[in-house]
Amino acid sequence: MERKFTFETFSAFLGAALPSYKGDKELLYELSEAAFSSIPAISSQSPILSRFGYSPAHIIFYIVGEHTFYLATHPDKKESDLKGDEDYARFIASFALDKYYTNEHLSYSEGSLLSPYMPEVSTISLYLNFVLGTLRRFKKGDPKQTLFVDILSKGLTMAKCIVSLLVGGYETEAFSTWRTLHENECILLSLLSAGEKAVQSYIRHMHYALAFRGALPSKEETDATFLEIKEGMKAHGLKSKDMKRYIEYGWLYEVPNAAGEEGFKLNFRDGVEKAAGLHSYSRVYEMSSEIAHSSPLLIYSRKSYFTLIGIINLYESFFRLEKVFSSMYLGTAGEEEKRRYENLRHAYYGELIASYGRLKKRFSSLSKKEKKEGD
């Protein structure tokens, strides 16, 4: 077979695509040539595969993976021993091409009702990529300093995950992931509105959770923490059976008016969700919980219904998180960064609103149709 590219071209590609690769590039070139020279035979033997073109880049990535894995699992082998070994080249090429064709062209698909190229998907994806990329500049990992950034980043990361699941056709999985995203946004909005005292209490209860899981450095610290937990429970008239709920939700006592609300409980729906002002999502959250716990609703779900309810709730959560991001970012960004974000918002926020409106109309039409068919 005619060479796909020269070693110089191959080496330049590898340097650009995988700059951290430290292996023998000449050996990798041999393995790649062995794979490319096998493609005509594979295509002639399989009418299905012959219909596909192929991506040299993806094949090279599979070869790098297989070769790296082989070296890691055969510590007695050195790259210098494998150079010029035609059997090894055929072995790696076989695995790489098998995985390439199966995973890239013949992979199992659930059949999505959404395409990544639809504005309803592509616009929110673009926005999420920009926002998550921007959040990288904020230091993370110390809740005493970066709690809001950490919660916001995790929420937006879950939003990106939900988009991927929806595009892949995994609408119920996307909807159950939205449940966690909703919990995340409710905690964030509750703390933002409550003030510093509630934030410090939330961080303290994170410490309590570590003690409960036996993750503190010493027995002395664990014992002292449990003593503090019991004193806090006593102050609120709680019993020993309430300990786990107090550890997880006791910080709500420091959220102004939360504990005084009618029906307040140390849980998500009657505590955190109410404190965030999002209790109207209670029924949707309950439905998502049923999905998450493998109820019949998961097994016999309606694809169109859960696709739409999943992406609509994603949009609504995203709008709230984007508002928090906008306030946080514009308060710290330089003038050039502000202009970039404002340009993005000017260009695409209107399309987000329009996309959301179209999705709501589709959901309304679907609901009316299902109701009519059920009559």
Q: Identify the CA nearest to 199 among candidates 128, 261, 149.
A: 149
Helical spans, DSSP H, in the chain: 7-17, 25-45, 47-50, 56-73, 79-82, 86-104, 119-135, 143-167, 171-194, 196-212, 219-235, 243-249, 273-275, 282-292, 296-299, 303-330, 335-374
Distance CA 180, CA 159 (A): 10
Mean pLDDT of 285-314: 78
| Whether the predicted pLDDT of 319 surpasses 70 | yes
| Whether the predicted pLDDT of 361 surpasses 90 | yes
Could you tell me the maximum CA-CA distance found in the chain, to the nearest angstrom?
80
More confident residue, 101 or 162: 162
More confident residue, 46 or 335: 335
The predicted pLDDT at position 210 comes to 96
Mean pLDDT of 20-44: 90
The predicted pLDDT at position 163 comes to 97
Residues of the chain above pLDDT 70, percent? 91
The predicted pLDDT at position 2 comes to 44
The predicted pLDDT at position 258 comes to 86
| Whether the predicted pLDDT of 100 surpasses 80 | yes
The predicted pLDDT at position 8 comes to 92
| Whether the predicted pLDDT of 300 surpasses 70 | no
Q: What would the 3-class secondary structure string for 263-281 be?
A: CCCCCHHHHHHHHCCCHHH
| DSSP annotation of 216 | S
The predicted pLDDT at position 324 comes to 95
More confident residue, 288 or 235: 235
Q: How confident is the model at residue 305 (pLDDT cuts 50, 70, 90)?
A: confident
| DSSP annotation of 242 | G
The predicted pLDDT at position 54 comes to 80
Q: Identify the CA nearest to 281 among candidates 179, 156, 133, 144.
A: 179
| Whether the predicted pLDDT of 243 surpasses 80 | yes
The predicted pLDDT at position 294 comes to 61
The chain-wide mean pLDDT, for the chain, equals: 89
User: Using one digit for the tens of pLDDT, what is the confidence trace for 103-135?
Assistant: 887 765 666 788 899 999 999 999 999 999 988
Q: How confident is the model at residue 1 (pLDDT cuts 50, 70, 90)?
A: very low
